[in-house]
Every structure is written in structure tokens, then in C-alpha cells.
Structure 1
Amino acid sequence: MSYDYVRVERRDQVMMIGINRPEKANAFNLQLVSELSSAYAELDADDSIRVGVLHGVGRHFTAGMDLREVAPEVSRGKSLLAPGGISPWLVEGEQLSKPLIAAVHGKCLTLGVELVLAADIAVCAASTTFAQLEPQLGLFPFGGVTVRLPQRAGWGNAMRWLLTCDEYDAQEAYRIGLVQEVVDDGDHLTRATQLADKIARQAPLAIRAVLENARRALRDGEAAAELEMPRLAQRTFSSEDGQAGIASFRQPGGSAVFVGR
């Protein structure tokens, strides 16, 4: 597909998805939200792609929401997604079935923090700063931060930043678990791509099963996830990739080639 505010590039089995509105610090207008939701659906549907990397083009990851355009639609309760799109914040409708890594730099504000929380792994540049500003403006942050940040950071750490609207730095984001690695400025995209390439070398059916079960535990509780474990084990152990992995384990120095079936 062709986009105006999203840059999509395929690198082997990795899809690079760039938020591409640098002249507005990558702030989300209606078209950008719609296009990003379409890009996520494209990532999920492309059988040749195993991992996605989300990043910002230009000086910043994103300055958050373009209120002049987006606020009226939210006020009317309208969906911002493209038809058939997947919510980039994964709070409504279909969920991504493939891993997504966020590569963050510059300013990461409001909806940007929620994009990071919706990703499976996040890497940020050392000078990155974060803030959740909606309550300062009398607004509710609707991209999942009220659920995911307390899960990730603990109640006190989450409320410290959600209720004060203060800005915090990369080291604090790492301390509370918002990001998993902090790298030198300019290296965030390289490091995220390295991680994506490593994940892409694993068996895709097993990776999807791990994501599915872990997300089930977060959404529906541990008991629901435990009930699914035998089914997922049977599915992966009996798959072509599972059989290849078992065979390679029996051979000293052997390695499996995973096909994703």
C-alpha cells in the first residue's frame, strides 16, 4: 500500500514501519492514525514478514496527538481506524499476532508512550524523554496506558508519571520497565533491527504461540492462559518446525531451519 504519513520498508523478514510526519514532530492527525492502523494490518497479513519495527522519522518518535484534528472525532465517539485496520494501541478489535519492537528517540509524548507499551520490546536512545500530558489538558489517555503502565511499572511508579504529567528521561523509562534497553543516541534503530532479525530466525509458529499465551494471561488471567498451554504445546510439537527443532536437538551441532508452517 501507499501512505503519506507512514513509511513502510521490508528488510528480509522484518517490516520497518516509520511514523513519517516529521514537519509536525510526528504528531498524529486523523490520516496518520488511519494509515498506521493499515500498516499494522499489512504487517499481520504478510506471510513473508515475521517481525515489525516501529520508529519515528526525523527528530522525534512522536509529539503525540494533533488535537485540532483528532479531538473532535474522539469527542463524537468515532473510530479513528481505517477499515480493516489494526489499532496501533491494540486496545480495540483485532490484535497483532506477530512481535513488534519500538525504536524510540527524541520526544515520546502521550499516544507515543502508549505505542511503546503496546509493543512487545522497546529500545530507546539515551536522550529520549517521555511524558503523559493528557490530564494536564483535561483529557483521558485512551491508548491503554492506564492499564498497561501499572502492569509494567507497578502502581506507584505508574501513578507518579500519569498523575503529575511530569517529563521523565530514558533511564527512568528503563527503571520502570517502559523500555528494555537504552542505547547511545543514533543507535536505537540499529539495535531494534538486530533484535528483530534475531526473533525472525526463531520458529514463527512458536513465537506466535508464546505471544498468544502471554497476552491471554494479561487479559484474562493466569488460569485462562494455563488452560491453553496443552493445546499450544501439541500444536507446536507436532508442527513441521517443531519436528525440525526436535530432530536438530538430537544431532550434535545441528540446527533447524524454520519454515513457519
Structure 2
Amino acid sequence: MTEPTVNRIVTERRGHVLLIGFNRPEKRNAADFALLQQLSLAYGELDRDPQLRVGLVHALGDHFTAGLDLADVGPRLGPDGLDMVPDSGINPWQVDGTSLSKPVVMAVQGTCLTLGIELILASDIAVAAESTVFGQIEVSRGILPFGGATIRLPRAIGWGNAMRWLLTGDTFDAAEALRIGLVQEIVPDGTQFEHALALAERIAAQAPLAVQATLASARTAVRHGDAAAEAELQPALARLAATKDARIGMESFLSRTPAVFEGR
């Protein structure tokens, strides 16, 4: 599979944070095949680079995403679905058995439909502008959500809440998204990026190996159950206790000075 050259996703390194921006504002950031490929490549870069500790997904323009560009993507659907992940990429929705090892914060605004909601569900913390409108509208288009909403939404917000929005295709506002736990913060319009960046930088300032181990433990519990996660707690603690960052953290505690972690 050849890598795309159309600039649908823009990335920027901000310290240890990788900014990942949807860049198709003239189409309300609807995801065509090039955008899906480039987003996958950005996730691959975040996962591989030890200098990157957190991803921040945002969007240029007034809208986060209007969902899938079916005119472009539809003809590419084969009998096995959609093959959109280049060799060096990671599926951003993480529904193919491969999980991202680092946390992702999201900032959403305007319209956030279908794959946008599913990207929130595959991420870790979401900040929404107060006028954001959400919708999982696939049933209105004759298809089903295929980016994880049928799996993650009932678990995240409860069965009844999930079915209310999955089965009707209705849209809902940011207040409802906060009530059901889809997003963690609502902020004034135009400030969502700054609030999300502050959260991402706060996470990036923590010991990165400890952050990744914490994330992995929680994901193991969700995917494989409590017993599987419990079996890994003590071994993970022993591994982390032997790291330089653990020594830095202890020294910081004893000296009451801020810790500067190295990721080793």
C-alpha cells in the first residue's frame, strides 16, 4: 500500500506531545481515504517514537468531522471491509487487535459525527466546545458503526444510553455528551484546543513508562477481565520500580522539587 501525499492530516511536535490535526475544513473534515491513511500514520509515529508521550487530536476549521466521506471511501470497501492502514501505521480506532501504547487527548468542536465519536471512545480524555453536536448516524445511512461504537459505547455510557443514540441516529449536544460520560469537559467555544493541550502537557510531565503501564493495565482489565489485569500488577510494579524514573520520582518526593522524567 502506497502512502498518501495529500495533506489531510497535519502534525506538530509540541515538546513531548504530538499534535494531530484534521485538515479538510472545506469538507467539514469528512474523512476520505487519504485522511484515514494519514491519521493511521500519525498514530504509528506517536506509538514508535520514545520522545513522544501523548497525542492530541484536534481539527482545523469550525467542525471536528462530518464523518466518513462515503463517496470516496465507499468504492474502496471490499468483502473484508476497508483496508486503510499503511504498514507503518496503527488503526486509530484500534479495532484490529493492535492498541496504541500511549494516551490520546481529544479536542472537538462543531459537528462530531460517527467516526469522530468512535475516535473519542478509542482515546482517553475528550474536551468539547460547548456548541458541539454529536451523532452516531450510521443507521440513517444503511450501515452500522464499524469503528468500535457498538463495542465501546454501551460499556462507556450504559446500554440504554448507547442504544438511545446508536439505534435512532439522532444527534445530541455537548451537555448530553458530558452527562453520559462521552466527554470529560465542556469549555467555551474556541478554547477546546488550549484546554486539551493543558491536559496533554500535564500527562506528558508524568513518568512516561508509568503512564503507559497504567494505561495498559486498565486496557487489560477492560479487554480481558479483572483477573488478567490483577496477574500483571505486581510484575509491572517490579519493572517500574527498577527504572531511573522511579528513582527520579522518589528523589523529587524527598526533596520536594519537581521531577523531570526521562522515560527510562
TM-score by length of 2: 0.95
The offset of 1:75, in angstroms, is 4.0
* Aligned counterparts of 2:104 and 2:6: Cα–Cα separation in 1: 20
Aligned to 1:49: 52
The offset of 1:247, in angstroms, is 2.7
The offset of 1:76, in angstroms, is 3.1
| 1:147-184 superposed Cα distances (whole Å, 9 cap, x missing partner) | 11111101111111101111000000000110000000
- Structure 1: segments with no counterpart, 5+ residues: none
**Residue 209, structure 1, aligned to residue 224, structure 2:** no
Aligned to 1:87: 91
2:16 and 2:52 in contact (8 A); partners too: yes
1:97 and 1:211 in contact (8 A); partners too: yes
Aligned to 1:140: 144
| 1:227-250 superposed Cα distances (whole Å, 9 cap, x missing partner) | 110111111111111122123323
Q: Bigger shift: 80-89 or 150-159?
A: 80-89
Which residue, 246, 258, 263 being the options, matches 1:260?
Answer: 263
Which residue, 38, 43, 64 being the options, matches 1:40?
Answer: 43
Which residue, 154, 160, 165 being the options, matches 2:158?
Answer: 154
**Residue 109, structure 1, aligned to residue 113, structure 2:** yes
2:6 and 2:34 in contact (8 A); partners too: no
One-letter code of the match for 2:223? R
Q: CA RMSD in A?
A: 1.4
Aligned to 1:24: 27
Q: Bigger shift: 64-73 or 197-206?
A: 64-73
TM-score by length of 1: 0.96
* Aligned counterparts of 2:44 and 2:250: Cα–Cα separation in 1: 33
1:243-258 matches, cutoff 5 A: 243-251=247-255, 253-258=256-261
**Residues 1:245 and 1:179: Cα distance change in structure 2 (over 3 Å):** same
1:73 and 1:80 in contact (8 A); partners too: no
1:123 and 1:181 in contact (8 A); partners too: yes
One-letter code of the match for 1:31? A
- 1:15 alignment partner, SS class: strand
* Aligned counterparts of 1:3 and 1:96: Cα–Cα separation in 2: 24
The offset of 1:80, in angstroms, is 1.4
Which residue, 7, 17, 22 being the options, matches 2:10?
Answer: 7
Count the aligned residue pairs.
260
Which residue, 191, 194, 197 being the options, matches 2:198?
Answer: 194
Q: Bigger shift: 242-251 or 21-30?
A: 242-251
- Structure 2: segments with no counterpart, 5+ residues: none
* Aligned counterparts of 2:149 and 2:243: Cα–Cα separation in 1: 36
The offset of 1:49, in angstroms, is 1.4
Which residue, 164, 175, 185 being the options, matches 2:168?
Answer: 164
Aligned to 2:75: 72
Q: Percent identity?
A: 52
* Aligned counterparts of 1:154 and 1:36: Cα–Cα separation in 2: 29
One-letter code of the match for 1:5? R
**Residue 59, structure 1, aligned to residue 62, structure 2:** yes
| 1:45-65 superposed Cα distances (whole Å, 9 cap, x missing partner) | 122211110011111000000
* Aligned counterparts of 1:207 and 1:231: Cα–Cα separation in 2: 16
* Aligned counterparts of 1:158 and 1:87: Cα–Cα separation in 2: 23
One-letter code of the match for 1:89? W
The offset of 1:216, in angstroms, is 0.5
